[in-house]
Amino acid sequence: KQEVTQIPAALSVPEGENLVLNCSFTDSAIYNLQWFRQDPGKGLTSLLLIQSSQREQTSGRLNASLDKSSGRSTLYIAASQPGDSATYLCAVRRDDKIIFGKGTRLHILP
Amino acid sequence: EAGVTQFPSHSVIEKGQTVTLRCDPISGHDNLYWYRRVMGKEIKFLLHFVKESKQDESGMPNNRFLAERTGGTYSTLKVQPAELEDSGVYFCASSPYLGYGYTFGSGTRLTVV
């Protein structure tokens, strides 16, 4: 059974710092991995999608890596801003469904 | 293009009542999914439609939940009768084909009192 774990559960950092969010999954037989952002009371916004054959994806200040063999992914946020405050969710796709982690609540201190 | 739209955004109902949630996927997306997040837990899969057919409904919690997708367009998720433990946020997502990323709606926050 696929399980997705995100560490840490919550994180507070001063504005301007670089930070890393971690995601691990138990079954390496995944189709792809997707990082989402959720703002309070809002839906899920897709940030980055990494196919199983890829090692990383970048979008602006965000960089996500995937090590399928070890069951790990990281989301790197450079030069954090208060607007980055949100919950970040990691999800792996297996078959026709995706399995989510519980998320990391990120708070960027102005 | 318009995104995935969900109605209503919030619903508060009494235990035993019926509630119907609606999802309008992105036009042309054959794959439609329902997920939900209950308090303190991770978002979990409920079911998957391919056009109007249920491809996988293994995540549906019990027979009080009924999902339909009329003509392969919008989908409804009915809870009848609602129980307290049904409270949570129900998300809908769509995807044009397998392997493509999901686009999620804003969710419906359901509160059963």
Nearest-by-Cβ selection for B107 from A36, A43, A89:
A43
The helix/strand/coil state of B82 is: coil
Find how far residue B37's CA is from the centre of its chain.
11
- Judged by a CB distance cut-off of 8 A, whether residue B90 touches chain A is no
pLDDT tens, residue by residue, B24-78: 999 999 999 999 999 888 999 999 999 999 999 999 999 999 999 988 899 999 9
The answer for residues whose C-beta is within 8 angstroms of residue B99's C-beta and 6 or more apart is A31, A32, A51
Chain A residues within an 8 Å CB radius of B105: 43
pLDDT tens, residue by residue, A46-97: 999 999 999 999 999 999 999 999 999 999 999 999 999 999 999 999 877 8
Q: A92 in the Ramachandran plot: left (φ > 0), alpha (ψ -120 to 50) or beta?
A: beta
Closest residue by Cα to residue B79 from B100, B106, B102, B108: B108
Interchain pair A4, B42: CB under 8 A: yes
Residues 19-48 of B with CB under 8 A from A: 31, 33, 35, 41-45, 48
Chain A residues within an 8 Å CB radius of B102: 34, 46, 98
Nearest-by-Cβ selection for B98 from A96, A99, A103:
A96
pLDDT tens, residue by residue, B73-95: 999 999 999 999 999 999 999 99
Pairing label, strands B108-112, B10-13: parallel
Return the pLDDT at B101.
81
